[in-house]
């Protein structure tokens, strides 16, 4: 784009961010402070993810951007356009075709490969933030590996509700050392982070932190031996493709409260339908 560098950020800034990424990869799950820049999109709308993506993007890359699992949600469209405009890279909605996937709130259902990078947008990188508001204190807790506060929170949940009541942004232990916020993905997606072949990068723009999970790194959701972690999803099949193992969106289809459940991952759902799968609510043409 006229007047701007490739992928918006200047090269010095990209180098600074890449150094932070390298450090983050070297210490899995550790939050690395970085000189987050003001971006033309607002804080909380993906500035961290955008800066990470801008710093790793090359001219040959193919970018996919999703929000809530879908390529066509407004914020995903906006970010995809931003890179199409500032970097001129190829974009795709196909998970398998993408080399870089930027996401908000979901991990694609299609397993990712070693030659792919997934970039998460992170609103709050500090997993202890709701329990301890002071970053000075939480930094000490991470340094000393003192996570008693989080375990107490889980204990209190089980004592009160009979189960851990966290349903998204469910805290994980990375490489057996650092407690990490997986970003507000549903807990259903947590198991996908464990030993994922793709490099996982997390960018928090407003809070100015970058962290990473290198390929094939252990990511364990916190739990108790007698209350093991359970990935929850709506107990239905996708109304469009019939999948029973995917995360579903709930759509209210009329004013009498009728609900329809459909795959949140639009690419996965479309791919399945192309392969001939169909659900109870799919259009007749799509079922053919």
Partner 1 sequence: MAYVAVKGGERAIDNAHAWLAEQRRGDTGVPEIAPRQIAEQLGRAVDRAMAEGAIYDRGLGALAVKQAQGDLIEAAFLLRAYRTTLPRFAYSLPLDTGAMHVARRISATFKDLPGGQVLGPTYDYTHRLLDFTLEQEASPPAAAETETDLAPMPRVQDILAQEGLIEPDALPGADDPGKPPADLTREPLSFPAGRDARLQALARADEGFVLAMGYSTQRGYGGSHPFAGEIRMGEVAIEIEPPELGFAIDIGDITLTECQMVNQFAGSKTVPPQFTRGYGLAFGHCERKAMAMALADRAMRAAELGEDVTAPAQNIEFMLYHCDNIEATGFVEHLKLPHYVDFQSELENVRRMRAEHEAAAQATRKAAE
Partner 2 sequence: MIAPGALLSARGLALSFGRIVALRDAAMDIWPGEVLAIVGESGSGKTTLLNVLSGNVRPDGGTVAYRSGSGAVVDVHAMPAPALRALHRSEWGFVQQDPRRNLRMNVSAGGNVGERLMAQGARHYGNIRDEAARWLETVEIDASRIDDLPRTFSGGMLQRLQIARTLVTRPSLVFMDEPTGGLDVSVQARLLDLIRSLVARLHIAVVLVTHDIAVARLLADRIMVMQNGSVIETGLTDQVLDDPHHPYTQLLVSSVLAA
By CB under 8 A, what part of segment 211-250 binds partner 1?
Answer: 232-234, 239-240, 247-250
Stated length of the chain: 288
Region 96-125 residues binding partner 1, contact defined as CB under 8 A = 104-106, 123
Tokens standing for residue 117: 């990078």
Cα distances (Å, whole numbers) of residue 75 to 29, 50, 68: 26, 12, 10
Q: What is the rounded CA–CA span in Å between residue 42 and residue 33? A: 19
To the nearest whole angstrom, how small is the minimum distance from the Cβ of residue 66 to partner 1?
10
Backbone angles phi, psi at 25, to 5 degrees: -70, -35
Number of residues binding to partner 2, judged by CB under 8 A = 17
143 binds, among partner 1, partner 2, none (CB under 5 to 8 A by kind): partner 2
Question: How many Å apart are CA 198 and CA 127, to the nearest integer?
Answer: 23
**Window 140 to 199, contacts with partner 2 (CB under 8 A):** 143-146, 148, 151-152, 155-156, 158-160
Binding mask of the shown chain, residues 75 to 94, with x at each position contacting partner 1 by CB under 8 A: xxxx--x-------------
Query: What is the CA 274 to chain-centroid distance, rounded?
Result: 26
CB contact at 8 A, 172 and 180:
yes
Nearer CB in complex with partner 2: 41/158: 158
Closest approach of partner 2 to the CB of residue 232, in Å:
18
Of 161-190, which residues contact partner 1 (CB under 8 A)?
161-163, 165, 167-169, 184-188
The site partner of 152 among partner 2, partner 1, none (C-beta below 5 to 8 Å per kind) is partner 2
- What is the distance of C-alpha 192 from the center of its chain? 11
Say whether residue 37 binds partner 1 (CB under 8 A).
yes
Judged by CB under 8 A, does residue 288 bind partner 1?
A: no
Nearer to partner 2, 59 or 140 (CB): 140
Residues in Cβ contact with 218 at an 8 Å cutoff, skipping those fewer than 6 apart: 174, 175, 176, 194, 195
What would the two tokens of residue 136 be?
Answer: 């000075």
> Among partner 1, partner 2, none, what does residue 47 contact (CB within 5–8 Å per kind)?
partner 1
Q: Which two tokens stand for residue 142?
A: 């991470």
The reply on whether position 225 binds partner 2 by CB under 8 A is: yes
Q: Which of 62, 73, 91, 110 binds partner 1 (CB under 8 A)?
A: 73
Q: Which residues are catalytic?
A: 29, 238, 241, 263, 269
**From CA 279, how far away is CA 269, in angstroms rounded?**
10
- Sheet arrangement for strand 178-180: 178-180, 172-174, 219-221
Site string for partner 1, 140-159 (x = CB under 8 A): --------------------
The helix-helix angle for 47-56 and 74-86 (nearest 10°) equals 30
**How many CB atoms lie under 10 A from the CB of residue 136?**
7
Binding segment for partner 2 among 62-70, 175-183, 220-228, 280-288 (CB under 8 A)?
220-228
Chain contacts with partner 2 (rule: CB under 8 A): 143-146, 148, 151-152, 155-156, 158-160, 223-227
């Amino acid at each position: 784009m006229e007047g701007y560098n490739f992928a918006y950020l200047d090269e010095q800034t990209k180098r600074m961010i890449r150094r932070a990424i390298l450090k983050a990869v070297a210490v899995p799950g550790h939050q690395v402070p970085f000189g987050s820049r003001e971006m033309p999109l607002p804080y909380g709308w993906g500035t961290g993810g955008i800066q990470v993506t801008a710093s790793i993007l090359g001219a040959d890359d193919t970018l996919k951007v999703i929000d809530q699992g879908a390529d066509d949600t407004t914020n995903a469209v906006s970010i995809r356009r931003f890179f199409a405009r500032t970097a001129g890279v190829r974009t795709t909605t196909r998970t398998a075709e993408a080399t870089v996937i930027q996401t908000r709130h979901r991990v694609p259902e299609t397993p990712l490969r070693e030659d792919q990078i997934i970039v998460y947008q992170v609103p709050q990188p500090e997993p202890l933030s709701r329990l301890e508001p002071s970053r000075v204190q939480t930094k000490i807790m991470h340094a000393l590996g003192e996570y008693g506060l989080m375990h107490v929170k889980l204990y209190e949940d089980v004592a009160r509700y009979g189960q851990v009541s966290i349903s998204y942004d469910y805290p994980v232990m990375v490489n057996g050392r650092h407690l990490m916020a997986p970003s507000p993905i549903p807990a259903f997606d947590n198991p996908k982070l464990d030993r994922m072949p793709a490099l996982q990068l997390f960018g928090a723009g407003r809070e100015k932190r970058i962290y990473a999970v290198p390929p094939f790194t252990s990511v364990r959701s916190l739990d108790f031996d007698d209350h093991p972690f359970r990935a929850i999803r709506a107990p239905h099949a996708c109304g469009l493709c019939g999948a029973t193992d995917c995360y579903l969106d709930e759509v209210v289809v009329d004013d009498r409260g009728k609900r329809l459940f459909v795959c949140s991952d639009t690419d996965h759902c479309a791919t399945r339908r192309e392969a001939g799968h169909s659900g109870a609510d799919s259009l007749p043409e799509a079922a053919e």
